[in-house]
Amino acid sequence: MTHTSLVIGSTGLIGQKLLIELSVKGGNIIAVSRRPIKNLSSNTSNLEIDFDHFLENGSLPSCDHIFICLGTTIKKAGSQKEFRKVDLDYCVAFAKKARESGAKNISLVTSVGANRFARSFYLKTKGEVESEIKKIDYQSINIFRPGLLLGQRNESRSLEDIGKYISLLLNFFLVGPLRKYRSISAETIARCMVRTEPKIGIKYYYFDDFHKNQLS
């Protein structure tokens, strides 16, 4: 039976790389997006949906594994409320609908430091989405917690771009327990997500894990 993977956030920094890695691995891939995606591989189909409508009445096609790498910024979203809708409500809704459609495995990208009790609004939201998804009865839940993401985005994030250069310098000083806060490329994370075999239970992955799971 052909394995089917569903990708949420397929036009984002990690999502784009994820589609490439999954297409090489084989099987069927469904890229979920708000707008058309061009130049997809022969084993990848594009499912265009209205995310807000999906929250109320949406359903997903049958799949085995859902990959969620959906995220935004408060600046782009316009408010904390809209940010939570994208980074929490949408992600949880997709996770629940995919489980109803037969998915047994889920891979979720959040952030190092994610904690639903954090003072930081961003980290608190990331912690909350983890907590909600862990309540869903998936056989395997892989949670990837990267530091600052490196890569070329479709949209400009000036402060984040400046932060990338600073983070590359800081990487040299982040050693020992602080290594997990190092910045990392989206391509490395995507490759790790695809090459990490689902394991029963909840597993967390950090900076060193991303590199351990790379194959030559």
Q: Which of 58, 52, 68 is nearest to 105 (CA)?
A: 68
* pTM value > 0.85: yes
66 has which bridge partners? 6, 106
Alpha carbon distance 53, 48 (integer Å): 12
Per-residue pLDDT, 125: 97
Per-residue pLDDT, 190: 96
Amino acid at position 33, single letter: S
With a cut of 50, list the residues of the chain below it in pLDDT. 215-216
Amino acid at position 171, single letter: N
Backbone CA torsion sign across 55, 32, 66, 131: negative
C-alpha separations of 43 from 7, 37, 39, 82 in Å: 13, 14, 11, 33
A 10 A CB-CB count for 142 gives 23
Fold of 4-148+186-212: Rossmann fold (3.40.50)
C-alpha separations of 12 from 2, 78, 101, 116, 187 in Å: 26, 18, 24, 24, 12
Structural contact between residues 95 and 105, judged by C-beta atoms closer than 8 angstroms: no
How many secondary structure helices (H) and strands (E) does the chain include? Answer: 9, 9
